[in-house]
């Protein structure tokens, strides 16, 4: 069976300032769109063009950053007397690469297991989430910890993963009044998403637990434990286990 190629006309390309281009693959948060974004990101990183800096995935698009000066100098080296803007050069490259992107390629996902101490002082909204969904707190914990979640994007705060795949049984709206301070490692729910706060920050997600695992790693490259495309699994731990992990990491 011949490989299915991505039709470039299904994507929207638009400039972002003078040094980036946004490629929009759709308007829904779903795996098929994520797959195209991830495949194209991998292609660009494996075969970077002259002037390429980096690409940043989001739910429905990929932003590609480039150095316009490098691209301009490359044109001069090629003795190209006709000036073509760096954006148009990059756009042409993107269109060509999109045309030959293979959709039938299978993605491989790294699986990351994250321990969570649910409820109590670590999950101030666990009881609310349970009441909202007519469940017990134990049922919420079981459903949340039995799920597999896809990291669609990293953003909002350094290392913050937006995780899709939450069961409708425990989906809960954001708080009507955000908290001014969310503790580092807080695990929350907002609508049909779950996520982990990698640093202390304001936020309005419903907090159901907390992890001792560090997601923001400023001294590591890349500085985020999770990357777009990762599969995340949560597993419950006790308060004592939480403290032991914290103490162990503090000694390292």
pLDDT tens for each residue of 233-249: 999 999 999 999 988 87
The answer to whether residues 174 and 218 belong to one domain is yes
Q: Are 84 and 121 in a shared domain?
A: no
Q: Report residue 217 as tokens.
A: 């790693």
Write the pLDDT tens digit of every residue in 151-185: 999 988 999 999 999 999 999 999 999 999 999 99
Q: Which of 71, 99, 127 is the last residue of a domain?
A: 99
Specify if 202 maps to a domain. yes
pLDDT bracket for residue 80 (50, 70, 90): low
For all residues of the chain together, what is the average pLDDT? 91
H or E, element range at 44: helix 31-46
- Bond before 61 cis per omega within 30 degrees: no
Answer yes or no: do 133 and 20 share one domain: no
Asked whether residue 73 falls in the same domain as residue 155, the answer is no
Instruction: Indicate whether 116 and 61 sit together in one domain.
Output: no
Give the per-residue pLDDT at 233. 98
CATH code for the domain of 60: 3.30.1360.40
Residue 135 lies in a domain: yes
Q: Which of 70, 99, 128 is the last residue of a domain?
A: 99
Which is it for strands 161-164 and 111-118: parallel, antiparallel or unpaired?
unpaired
Do 189 and 221 belong together in one domain? yes
Kindly report the pTM of this predicted structure.
0.86
Q: What is the pLDDT of residues 104-148, one digit of tens each?
A: 778 889 999 999 999 999 999 999 999 999 999 999 999 999 999
- Residues 211 and 99: their CA atoms lie apart, in Å, by 43
Q: Say whether pLDDT at 251 is over 50.
A: no
Q: How many CA atoms lie within 13 A of 64 on its CB side?
A: 31
Q: Which domain holds residue 178?
A: 111-251
Residue 109, Cα to own-chain centre: how many angstroms? 13
Give, for 116, the enclosing helix (H) or strand (E).
strand 111-118
Task: Render pLDDT for 90-108 as a digit per residue (tens, 0 to 9).
Answer: 999 999 999 877 777 788 8
In a domain, 40, yes or no: yes
């Amino acid at each position: 069976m011949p490989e299915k190629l991505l039709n470039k006309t299904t994507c929207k390309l638009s400039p972002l300032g003078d040094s980036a281009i946004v490629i929009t693959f759709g308007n829904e948060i779903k795996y098929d769109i994520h797959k195209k974004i991830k495949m194209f990101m991998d292609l660009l990183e494996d075969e970077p063009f002259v002037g390429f800096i980096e690409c940043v995935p989001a739910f429905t698009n990929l932003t590609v950053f480039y150095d316009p000066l490098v691209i301009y100098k490359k044109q001069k080296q090629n003795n190209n007397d006709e000036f073509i803007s760096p954006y148009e050069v990059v756009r042409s490259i993107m269109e060509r690469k999109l045309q030959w992107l293979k959709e039938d390629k299978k993605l491989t996902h790294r699986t990351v297991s994250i321990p969570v101490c649910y409820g109590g002082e670590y999950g101030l909204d666990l009881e609310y989430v349970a009441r909202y969904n007519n469940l017990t707190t134990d049922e919420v914990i079981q459903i949340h910890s039995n799920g597999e979640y896809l990291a669609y994007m990293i953003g909002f705060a350094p290392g913050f993963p937006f995780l899709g795949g939450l069961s409708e049984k425990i989906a809960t709206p954001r708080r009507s009044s955000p908290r001014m301070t969310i503790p580092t490692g807080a695990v929350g729910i907002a609508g049909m998403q779950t996520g982990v706060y990698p640093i202390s920050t304001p936020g309005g997600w419903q907090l159901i637990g907390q992890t001792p695992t560090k997601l923001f790693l400023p001294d590591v490259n890349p500085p985020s434990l999770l990357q777009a495309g990762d599969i995340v699994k949560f597993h419950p731990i006790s308060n004592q286990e939480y403290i032991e992990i914290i103490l162990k990491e503090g000694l390292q």
